[in-house]
Chain A
Amino acid sequence: MDGIFALAVDNLLSPIILFFALGLLAAFARSDLTVPESVAKGMSLYLLFAIGFKGGASVAAHGIDATLLLSLLAGLILSFVLPFVAFTLLRVMTGLSVTDAAAVAAHYGSISIVTFVAATSVATSAGLNSEGYMVAVAAVMEAPAILSALWLIARYDSSGSGKMEAGLLQEILLNGSIVLLVGSFLIGVITGAEGLAKIAPFIVSPFQGVLCLFLLDMGLVAGRGLREARDVLRPGLFLFGMVMPLIGSMFGLGAGLLLGLSPGGVMLFMTLSASASYIAVPAAMRVALPEANPSIYLTLSLGVTFPFNLTLGIPIYLTIAQALTGA
């Protein structure tokens, strides 16, 4: 317990978390601090490019094995299954309608790539190596949850809402973030350590600084979102936003241990299973399930679960992964 506490304090006092907190505070204080939209977009492209490439280069160095394929399969299954867990929990803990519960559940089956990037950074700082292909697992876990949510709607809602219209799945799978992440990963696999050495001054050294600035923006966005949508955050929902990541992380823990991943890999699997989407899934839900209230799912995933994972969740996952893998 002391270990978790010490790690949580260390994590809370790291630059990335403090910049996130600064963004949150600035938003709550109604400061006019903003990161221009195009700069934020540029930073997110940079982070995806860097994390994808480094993951690919790591796979090139360690080789491709059966565990990679099994990890991808496990990620796919978890993304399909977690929405059912979230949906059941939401129906028990909150008074959400079937439509809103299914929409929220989809977010918790998918992943937050920024949380993943932050967890990678924390794992590296803690001296833990992880499997480079976890980047590919993250990409695989982005979309299946949407299908689960639409199935839940079809099963439990008789109003006929929730349609998987033609082209939506293609739109989700080819969204810019996934294309860049997977593309950079593949280029990293092809070019390997030699390719990484060539661009290391661009993607390794500045990474932490860019992540700090990006998290400042995320803090601003999360804070403003929370301020505007605080009325929808009833106690049951708020609690769900913190309990669900812990439950999700246990699924990731089980998968990581069964696959025999490294401590860092187990911790990243836990983080992926614990995180909730706030980019790809909200957009898909607006198209497929417009009747669902966006302020509920966006506030929960971005305003509650994201800060929870960033501040407390990641140290917890790291400690558990270290304890159970003997790292």
Chain B
Amino acid sequence: MQTHKAKRVEITIEAVMERRLTTALVTAGVTGFTVLPVLGGSGRSGQWSREGQVSRAGGMVSVVCIVRADKLDNLLDAAFSVVERHIGVVSVVDCEVLRAERF
């Protein structure tokens, strides 16, 4: 089956920043993304788990976007403007999609 090259960007960020991030992505022309809850993890600040959180302040979400390579810089600029001062991870990997016109 014919596949097309694309970029998969995963941004793990504090839940309180989710709306700001998705707004910035939409403004930058990113039309599709998926928001996933994060159950827990470990990082420079130590281990954490969603179980021990009483508010959204301690939670994290993962925002996944798949875009064409030519849209990547715009997306990263927009994401960086939001995540710069905050806890989080931004990663980019190559991927392939079936329907290129959707991205």
Contact = CB atoms under 8 A, between A and B. Distances in A.
Contacts, number: 52
Among B48, B58, B86, residue most surrounded by chain A Cβ atoms (within 10 Å): B58
A283 B86 CA distance: 13
Given A228-B46, A291-B85, A218 B17 contact: no
A34 interface: yes
B85 A225 contact: no
Contacts of A286: 14, 16-17, 57, 86
Interface in B46-70: 46-58
B57 to A, nearest CB: 4
B3 interface: no
B91 interface: no
Query: Main SS of chain B's interface residues?
Result: mixed
Among A218, A228, A283, residue most surrounded by chain B Cβ atoms (within 10 Å): A283
B45 interface: yes
A287 B17 contact: yes
Interface residues of B, number: 21
Interface stretch (A9-17, A46-54, A140-148, A294-302): A294-302
A322 to B, nearest CB: 31
A283 B87 contact: no
Contacts of B57: 279, 282-283, 285-286, 294, 298
Nearest to B86: A290
B48 A290 contact: no
A29 B70 CA distance: 53
A224 B17 contact: no
A221 interface: yes
A198 B45 CA distance: 50
Contacts of B49: 224, 228
Contact of B47 (A161, A225, A228, A285): A228
A19 interface: no
A37 to B, nearest CB: 8
A228 B54 contact: no
A278 interface: yes
Given A228-B46, A228-B48, A287-B16, A302 B54 contact: yes
Interface of B: 14, 16-17, 20, 45-58, 85-87
26 contacts: A37-B50, A161-B85, A221-B53, A224-B51, A225-B54, A228-B47, A228-B48, A228-B49, A278-B54, A279-B54, A279-B55, A279-B57, A282-B57, A282-B58, A283-B16, A283-B56, A283-B57, A285-B57, A286-B86, A287-B16, A287-B17, A290-B86, A291-B85, A294-B57, A295-B45, A298-B58
- Sorted nearest first, the 3 A-B pairs with minimum C-beta distance are A282-B57, A224-B52, A283-B57
